[in-house]
Structure 1
Amino acid sequence: MTKTGPSMRHAQGRAGSAAVAALVPSSSPAPAAQPAVAHGHLGLAGGTALYVAAVLGTGVLVLPALAAAAAGPGAILAVAALAIISIPLASTFAALSRRHPDAGGVATFARRAFGPTSARVISYWFFFGTPIGAPIAALMTARYVVAVVGGDALTTTLIAIGLMVIPVIVTAFGVRFAGWLQLVLSAALVAVLVFVLAAAVPHGEPANLQPLLPHGWEGVGLAMSLYIWAFAGWEAVAGIGGEFRNPHRDIPRATALALVIVSVAYLAIQTVTVLVLGASASTSQVPLLDLVVVSTGRGGGIIVAVIAAIVVTGVFNAYLAAFSKLGAAMGRDGDLPRWFGRGAENGGVARRGLLLSALVMAAYSVVVLASGDLQPFILVHTSIAAAVYAVGVASALVLLPRWSFGWWMALLSCVFAAGLLVLAGWHLVFPVGLAAIAVLVGLVMRSRRRPVVGSEASAVVSAGTP
């Protein structure tokens, strides 16, 4: 994961102005005046690359198959629905990030809107919940590599472990990918996807679109729940808002560009997967590889394995930065021991936050790698994302100027977020449990800070009197 700090240099692009206008029109009220704060050096190009890496992520590797198993061709409708829902969600988080750029991200928004307890709940969801996605992403990638080079379950596990350990070690020593390299990784991902899809499209069969809803609308709902994994990320990158050179200008632009790229990519790959693979898509563990085999033969598998590694590298770049910065922000704000607070400042290196996030990832890795079945863990991850979205957009209704474009997007997002919570179903037990722990921690901390008054104060004075 990239630490998007002072070492980055980015050109200030002007592409995507039309998409930006759709998200943040010029008539939007200007943010309220705030004290001058130090920002990083992340520009439009690098910011867009990070957003694409965080949101597009590893979903391209396995979600088209899982969604096809859940909904058949109806998975295409699920992707289209989530792409539409993402417009107000992404707009809301862009509006919040440009007004309140801080390492705490959504936790900062919740603190400003609802107080420290809400912020602690968000922090616990994100910091102790979403790292479950790390072993899932690593296992997705390892399966692609093994499918090409060969190996057994042990080989897959070892590769997955290596994919997680190496980025943590590199980040711990303060070595960061340059912004231009992250841009190259995201560009390579998009380029290879275009190549694979273009080569596979001629082999598609329109008959594979029938029946459209073999598992009914319930299957579409399950596919949407799975695809929240793919469209989650806007809440994660909110924590790097302070790393932009010009948050007010470039955060909305980067959000708009990334939203278009991600939506088109996922809709295209789900459609082509269904058209080309048909019923076999639901049983594939490596759908991109299967598309390559159909169109170019086994030789193209090397390309897919390489792009899988590129994908997971980009995702870990983005998320390790977010995890470590959030851990530092939690230490700074008292939601973790103060020892973890170093590096929370914009441009700082949060090594202690990184250490704790690595331990959390390791704990989840034991469970996920031992199971090997990704779907239930993906649904746990997406239930956390839905809960974070719900509190985040509710915060926006309080923090954003009423009747502004961002406020209206937040209002619409609240409706969509409620729908995502319904789709999450019983998996919400996991974020509810983490929320209960966060509240309990807050009560314990409050009791320890309770002032000494009344008879207790007299007792203390008496005990101290010679």
Structure 2
Amino acid sequence: MTVGLSVIPGWARVARHRRIHRLGLGQGTALFAGAVLGPGVLALPRLAADAAGPASIVTWAVLLALSVPVALTFAALGARFPGNGGVATFAGSAFGPHLAAVVGWWFFLALPIGIPAGAWIGGEYVAAALGFGGSATAQVACGLVIAAFVANHIGLRLSGSVQLLLGVLLVGLLVAAVVAAVPHVQTGNFVPFTPHGWTGVAHAAGVLFFAFAGWEAASNLSAEFANPRRHLPWATVLALIVVGVLYLGLAVTTVGVLGDRAATSAVPLTLLLEHGIGGAARAITAAAAVFLSFGAINTYIAGGARLGAALADQGALPQLFAKGGGAGEVPRRSLGLLAALTGLVTVGTVAFAVDLDALLRATSACLAAVTVVGTAAAVRVLPPRSAGRRLAMVATAFAVAVLASCGVFLLVPAGIGLVAVGVSARAGAARRATLGRSEVPQEVPV
């Protein structure tokens, strides 16, 4: 998930509503790292450890390695086609408007799943800090969702500086937790290394991809760089290093310090940080989780509402949701649709006790599908025999492998895709019919 760049969690990510002009290498690195890091990482170490045990470290490392060709592919797209509109635009250029509509739907409909997940993470940390149970988690999560939608309805936006500050806060928390925990790592906690077999490693990949989505921001933000061809690749490489060090450090210390608790505690960062600052860690991480969760979902909602208006304007959603999509406007109809869908998922999550793991896996499946289409589009649009195209082929193969690890949750993007193709086809037929009628000569009255 991301703070301050584009929509999704990580999950669905769309272009920022506020442009930052003439980015340099340092700013670009910070923005790309922020596009990948997000409050989801506050909960993912536990979910990965539950799926694979200590071998979850292997999953983190493998996904980090797979991120290299994916990230560099999107950097190559952004450097060659700066400001070209992101994955949906590339999908449309490479495969046609129907697949572009599918990508847009994957982004848009991942939000009602991912928003409750992000809020739930904040709720878990608050409940743990106050010593309350699951009902407090649900109440805080619902409060965060409602507050974010109200803020967007009245047009409240977090400034780029505030969003960047939230990203810095997350990095600081991760660094502090890792540094505090390293002296307490015990080798015995890594045995047995594969309690669920090596299939657990693949199972963990399905949820951990949530932590590695966001590299498409390189293509979305390419036009913001003073020198995209020079700065964009280096910013991507440096962001990969930052993200890799933080994620691997967190994975090793979570398992090495917490042992069996790594797979059961909803607040692993709190437990790690307690080794450095004691009891104050609960209040600090709870407050940080609330701010990070609110900042993230506020940004997701703002971008998602604009994405919905854009999809309606292009015929991928009913035209009535296009109103308010202009610069400086609030697309309240699209926002209302997003609120209704998010409300249904949130209520269903609470009523049927859907766990965080399922929400993140469903979102990850949509994001992995977007990555497959984006890297495959790069194979089509990048020049033949170029290094970028060869890299895109490798990235596509890796992305397909990660998508396959999503298992039964592949039904989510598959179902969304079928509906999107149907709606897009009907909209196209309606437009052609309208165009045909407009071309019929009208009788001139005598």
TM normalised by structure 1 equals 0.82
Aligned position for 1:437: 419
Deviation at 1:81, TM superposition (A): 0.4
Instruction: Give the whole-Å Cα distance in 2 for the aligned partners of 1:382 and 1:439.
Output: 21
Q: Does 1:301 align with 2:282?
A: yes
C-alpha contact 1:52 1:262 (8 A) present in aligned 2: yes
Aligned position for 2:11: none
Q: What are the superposed Cα offsets for residues 44-94 of structure 1, whole Å, 9 maximum, x if unpaired?
A: x2x544433332112321111111111111111100000010111112223
Which amino acid is 1:441 matched to?
V
Which deviates more, 381-390 or 110-119?
Answer: 381-390
Deviation at 1:342, TM superposition (A): 5.5
Aligned position for 1:119: 100
Distance 1:245 1:413, change over 3 A: closer
Q: Given the alignment, which residue of 141, 144, 164 partners 1:160?
A: 141
C-alpha contact 2:52 2:196 (8 A) present in aligned 1: yes
C-alpha contact 1:104 1:325 (8 A) present in aligned 2: no
Distance 1:155 1:119, change over 3 A: same
The percentage of counterpart residues that share the same residue type is 39
Instruction: Give the whole-Å Cα distance in 2 for the aligned partners of 1:252 and 1:211.
Output: 40
Aligned position for 1:393: 375
Where 2:202 maps in the other structure, the secondary structure is helix
Which deviates more, 369-378 or 1-10?
Answer: 1-10
Gaps of 5+ in 1: 16-44
Distance 1:93 1:73, change over 3 A: same
Deviation at 1:135, TM superposition (A): 0.5
Q: Given the alignment, which residue of 402, 411, 427 partners 2:409?
A: 427
Q: Given the alignment, which residue of 363, 366, 385 partners 1:384?
A: 366
Q: What are the superposed Cα offsets for residues 149-179 of structure 1, whole Å, 9 maximum, x if unpaired?
A: 2334332222112222223332333332222
Instruction: Give the whole-Å Cα distance in 1 for the aligned partners of 2:92 and 2:292.
Output: 33
Instruction: Give the whole-Å Cα distance in 1 for the aligned partners of 2:320 and 2:294.
Output: 29
Instruction: Give the whole-Å Cα distance in 2 for the aligned partners of 1:48 and 1:195.
Output: 21
Instruction: Give the whole-Å Cα distance in 1 for the aligned partners of 2:320 and 2:226.
Output: 30
C-alpha contact 1:56 1:262 (8 A) present in aligned 2: yes
Q: Does 1:202 align with 2:202?
A: no
Aligned position for 1:374: 356
Instruction: Give the whole-Å Cα distance in 1 for the aligned partners of 2:137 and 2:252.
Output: 28
Instruction: Give the whole-Å Cα distance in 1 for the aligned partners of 2:30 and 2:294.
Output: 13
C-alpha contact 2:20 2:224 (8 A) present in aligned 1: no
Which amino acid is 1:381 matched to?
T
Distance 1:6 1:110, change over 3 A: closer
Q: Does 1:182 align with 2:163?
A: yes
C-alpha contact 2:110 2:366 (8 A) present in aligned 1: yes
C-alpha contact 1:244 1:251 (8 A) present in aligned 2: no
Q: What is the 5 A alignment of 1:18-57?
A: 45=27, 47-57=28-38
Which amino acid is 2:146 matched to?
V
Where 1:212 maps in the other structure, the secondary structure is coil
Deviation at 1:242, TM superposition (A): 7.1
Distance 1:9 1:395, change over 3 A: closer
RMSD between superposed Cα atoms in Å: 3.2
Distance 1:319 1:95, change over 3 A: farther
Which amino acid is 1:405 matched to?
A
Distance 1:356 1:181, change over 3 A: same
Aligned position for 1:241: 221
Q: Does 1:87 align with 2:62?
A: no
Q: Given the alignment, which residue of 310, 318, 324 partners 1:329?
A: 310
Which amino acid is 1:272 matched to?
T
Distance 1:165 1:96, change over 3 A: farther
Where 1:216 maps in the other structure, the secondary structure is coil
Gaps of 5+ in 2: 6-14
Where 2:308 maps in the other structure, the secondary structure is helix
Deviation at 1:204, TM superposition (A): 1.2
Q: Given the alignment, which residue of 46, 50, 59 partners 2:40?
A: 59
Q: What are the superposed Cα offsets for residues 73-120 of structure 1, whole Å, 9 maximum, x if unpaired?
A: 111110000001011111222333444556853211111111111111
Aligned position for 1:273: 254
Instruction: Give the whole-Å Cα distance in 2 for the aligned partners of 1:166 and 1:10.
Output: 30
TM normalised by structure 2 equals 0.86
Deviation at 1:200, TM superposition (A): 1.5
Q: Does 1:351 align with 2:335?
A: no
C-alpha contact 1:2 1:317 (8 A) present in aligned 2: no
Instruction: Give the whole-Å Cα distance in 2 for the aligned partners of 1:308 and 1:94.
Output: 30
C-alpha contact 2:85 2:219 (8 A) present in aligned 1: yes
Deviation at 1:258, TM superposition (A): 2.9
Which amino acid is 2:164 matched to?
L
Aligned residues: 431
Which amino acid is 1:203 matched to?
H
Q: Given the alignment, which residue of 47, 50, 66 partners 1:69?
A: 50
